Amino acid sequence: DTAVSQTPKYLVTQMGNDKSIKCEQNLGHDTMYWYKQDSKKFLKIMFSYNNKELIINETVPNRFSPKSPDKAHLNLHINSLELGDSAVYFCASSQGIIEAFFGQGTRLTVV
Partner 1 sequence: GEDVEQSLFLSVREGDSSVINCTYTDSSSTYLYWYKQEPGAGLQLLTYIFSNMDMKQDQRLTVLLNKKDKHLSLRIADTQTGDSAIYFCAESISGNTPLVFGKGTRLSVIA
If one asks whether residue 94 binds partner 1 (CB under 8 A), the answer comes out as yes
Q: Roughly how many angstroms between the first and final C-alpha of the chain, as a whole number?
A: 34
Binding mask 35-64 for partner 1 (x = CB under 8 A): x----xxxxxx--x-x----x---------
- Cα gap 43→38, rounded to integer Å: 7
Among 1, 69, 98, 111, binds partner 1 (CB under 8 A): 98
If one asks whether residue 96 binds partner 1 (CB under 8 A), the answer comes out as yes
Is residue 69 a contact partner of residue 92, using CB atoms and an 8 Å limit?
A: no
Element (H, E) at 93: strand 87-94
Identify which range of 19-27, 33-41, 60-68, 70-78 contacts partner 1 by CB under 8 A: 33-41
The residues that touch partner 1, with contacts defined as CB under 8 A, are 30-31, 33, 35, 40-45, 48, 50, 55, 90, 92, 94-100, 102-105
